[in-house]
A = this chain, B = another copy of it.
Amino acid sequence: MTLKSLLLGVVSVIALSGNYSALADDVPSISEDALKVAAELRDEALKSSKGYDIVESLTTEVGPRMAGTPGDAAAVKWGVAKLEELGFDKVWTEPVTFPTWKRGIETAEVVAPYPQPLVITALGFSVGTPEDGLTAELVEFDDLAALEASEEDSAKGKIVFIKNRMKRAKDGSGYGPAVSARTRGASEAAKKGAVGILIRSIGTDSDRMAHTGVMNYEEGIKKIPAAALSAPDADLLENMLRRGKPVIVKMTIGAKQGKEYTSHNVIGEITGSEKPEEYVIIGGHLDSWDLGTGAIDDGAGIAITTAAAELIGRLPERPKRSIRVIMFANEEQGLLGGKAYAKAHKDKLDNIITAAESDFGADRIWRIDSKVKKEALPVVMEIANLLKPLGIEYGNNKAGGGPDLIPLRQLGISVFSLRQDGMDYFDYHHTPNDTLDKIDPEALDQNTAAYVVLAYIAAQMEGDFGGGFTKEQ
């Protein structure tokens, strides 16, 4: 980006009454030298295993780090120390403040007609039951839509059981349609008179572990306790209900709201040699759910992007632009870190060349999507070309960029999505099974190799990827 384009960008921000523009007047390009270095970095990444070391460190030395817990504070401390240890030029934190939620006891059992314990886990932000539990008859619905379409008192005094099954897919496309039962189920059930809700876990496994995840209460609707059943327990309830007798369930949930808490985005920078104020964002989220050790969600993303930047930092010379690794705070409970970063930096969006977050596990990347101005597509093709030996193909110019980048993306920045194979991701997602053993070190290296190429090219290119993408292209 030239000074002229920078100035033009600033003008456009005002002109468009948005915060961003960046329609540069130069034709973006990338030098042969840069391509050569990028290929070397890529090949080096495949041999490195640095990513695995990082996620092993995070899961072993910190482990669970739910927003607002002592693990959150330990993770921030770990992040700063790790980035410093790895030789980043600048390491700092930025505050992120949010409400917190505490998990307590969470048990459930069938009381009649076939007494048996059930495996459940409370959904994030669920209220608790009375201390001695909540006992009521179960009423089942195929999915959230069926609940919504049911008559007014369809669940009066009952515990709603939503039994929809998430579909397994490489691109994770089964998640969206299924997850509304988790996020909106409680309020929809309350509207029908329910006193509690149990959903089949939003996951693709058949392990006896329930998947947690955040839910929301609709303003003005009674808050009822909400939990997820493991898949085998949901099967069990279906089998019981099929017999036609009333199924009475007792659930006891001790969850409650905590105090407001201030955590931090942890940021490490490899500072550019020519245009240090311009930077590429790569990163993941540092928080995790409390049930596992947050290996694939999102220790892997932290590890992949930190390892990629660290590799660039080992070059004899700094790249032209800066590379920032952002370890976002509290993604899980509402993208709080991403929102805080966007708010803090919204006046300098032109400095952000592009951004890509890794937050879809630890399996191999199979596709790269971009969201860039048309003039920059030749540079994207050069990147795609460098990723081909990694088994990665180019997808389209409609990239999402990752959850913590949504707030920045909505302000118009250019983003990339390095799309991981998500076939197994939802087997472990938000369960106790999200542990280090689920990570294949070689797959992690493949991810690092892809990020290092993207970050390095973006840091070295002439011109920019554009911006001001406030509408879907």
Chain A interface residues (CB < 8 Å from chain B): 56, 59-64, 70, 114-117, 119, 206-209, 231-232, 235-236, 239-240, 243, 292-293, 431-433, 435-438
A60 to chain B, nearest CB (A): 4
- Kindly identify which residue among B209, B231, B232 contacts A208, using a CB–CB cutoff of 8 Å: B209
Q: Does B60 lie within 8 Å of A236, measured CB to CB?
A: yes
Q: A64, A114, A231 — which one has the most chain B CB atoms within 10 A of its CB?
A: A114
Q: Does B208 lie within 8 Å of A435, measured CB to CB?
A: yes
| Distance in angstroms between the alpha carbons of A70 and B116 in the assembled complex | 10
A430 to chain B, nearest CB (A): 13
A457 to chain B, nearest CB (A): 35
Assuming A70-B115, A116-B63, A293-B116, is B239 touching A437 (CB within 8 A)? no
Which 10 A-B pairs have CB atoms at the shortest separation, nearest pair first?
A: A63-B116, A232-B435, A208-B432, A60-B239, A206-B437, A208-B433, A61-B114, A232-B437, A235-B437, A207-B433
- Kindly identify which residue among B208, B292, B433, B435 contacts A292, using a CB–CB cutoff of 8 Å: B208
Chain B residues within an 8 Å CB radius of A208: 209, 292, 431-433, 435
| Distance in angstroms between the alpha carbons of A112 and B52 in the assembled complex | 23
A228 to chain B, nearest CB (A): 15
| Distance in angstroms between the alpha carbons of A236 and B437 in the assembled complex | 9
Q: Does A436 lie within 8 Å of B232, measured CB to CB?
A: yes
Q: Does A437 lie within 8 Å of B231, measured CB to CB?
A: yes
| Distance in angstroms between the alpha carbons of A117 and B117 in the assembled complex | 22
| Distance in angstroms between the alpha carbons of A369 and B235 in the assembled complex | 36
Q: Does B240 lie within 8 Å of A60, measured CB to CB?
A: yes
| Distance in angstroms between the alpha carbons of A52 and B292 in the assembled complex | 34
Question: Who on chain B is nearest to A242 by CB?
Answer: B60
- Kindly identify which residue among B64, B114, B235 contacts A62, using a CB–CB cutoff of 8 Å: B114
| Distance in angstroms between the alpha carbons of A119 and B438 in the assembled complex | 16
Known A208-B435, A235-B436; further 13 A-B contacts with Cβ < 8 A: A60-B114, A61-B114, A63-B114, A63-B116, A63-B117, A64-B116, A119-B432, A206-B438, A208-B209, A208-B431, A208-B433, A232-B436, A236-B293
Q: What are 28 A-B residue pairs whose CB atoms fall within 8 Å in the complex?
A: A56-B239, A60-B114, A60-B240, A63-B115, A63-B117, A63-B236, A64-B117, A70-B115, A119-B432, A206-B435, A206-B437, A206-B438, A207-B209, A208-B431, A208-B432, A208-B433, A208-B435, A209-B209, A232-B293, A232-B433, A232-B435, A232-B436, A235-B435, A235-B437, A236-B293, A236-B435, A236-B436, A239-B436
| Distance in angstroms between the alpha carbons of A47 and B119 in the assembled complex | 34
| Distance in angstroms between the alpha carbons of A438 and B293 in the assembled complex | 26
| Distance in angstroms between the alpha carbons of A433 and B435 in the assembled complex | 17
A435 to chain B, nearest CB (A): 4
| Distance in angstroms between the alpha carbons of A61 and B115 in the assembled complex | 8
A102 to chain B, nearest CB (A): 15
| Distance in angstroms between the alpha carbons of A239 and B62 in the assembled complex | 12
Question: Who on chain B is nearest to A57 by CB?
Answer: B239
Chain B residues within an 8 Å CB radius of A60: 114, 236, 239-240, 243
| Distance in angstroms between the alpha carbons of A232 and B434 in the assembled complex | 9
| Distance in angstroms between the alpha carbons of A232 and B209 in the assembled complex | 14
Question: Who on chain B is nearest to A291 by CB?
Answer: B208
| Distance in angstroms between the alpha carbons of A92 and B249 in the assembled complex | 33
| Distance in angstroms between the alpha carbons of A62 and B116 in the assembled complex | 7
| Distance in angstroms between the alpha carbons of A59 and B117 in the assembled complex | 12
Question: Who on chain B is nearest to A116 by CB?
Answer: B63
A274 to chain B, nearest CB (A): 41
Chain B residues within an 8 Å CB radius of A62: 114
A96 to chain B, nearest CB (A): 23
Chain B residues within an 8 Å CB radius of A56: 239
Chain B residues within an 8 Å CB radius of A61: 114
| Distance in angstroms between the alpha carbons of A437 and B206 in the assembled complex | 7
A110 to chain B, nearest CB (A): 8
| Distance in angstroms between the alpha carbons of A437 and B243 in the assembled complex | 18
| Distance in angstroms between the alpha carbons of A62 and B239 in the assembled complex | 12
A87 to chain B, nearest CB (A): 21
Question: Who on chain B is nearest to A435 by CB?
Answer: B232
Q: A61, A208, A239 — which one has the most chain B CB atoms within 10 A of its CB?
A: A208
A212 to chain B, nearest CB (A): 14
| Distance in angstroms between the alpha carbons of A59 and B232 in the assembled complex | 11
Chain B residues within an 8 Å CB radius of A231: 437
A93 to chain B, nearest CB (A): 21
Q: A62, A231, A435 — which one has the most chain B CB atoms within 10 A of its CB?
A: A435
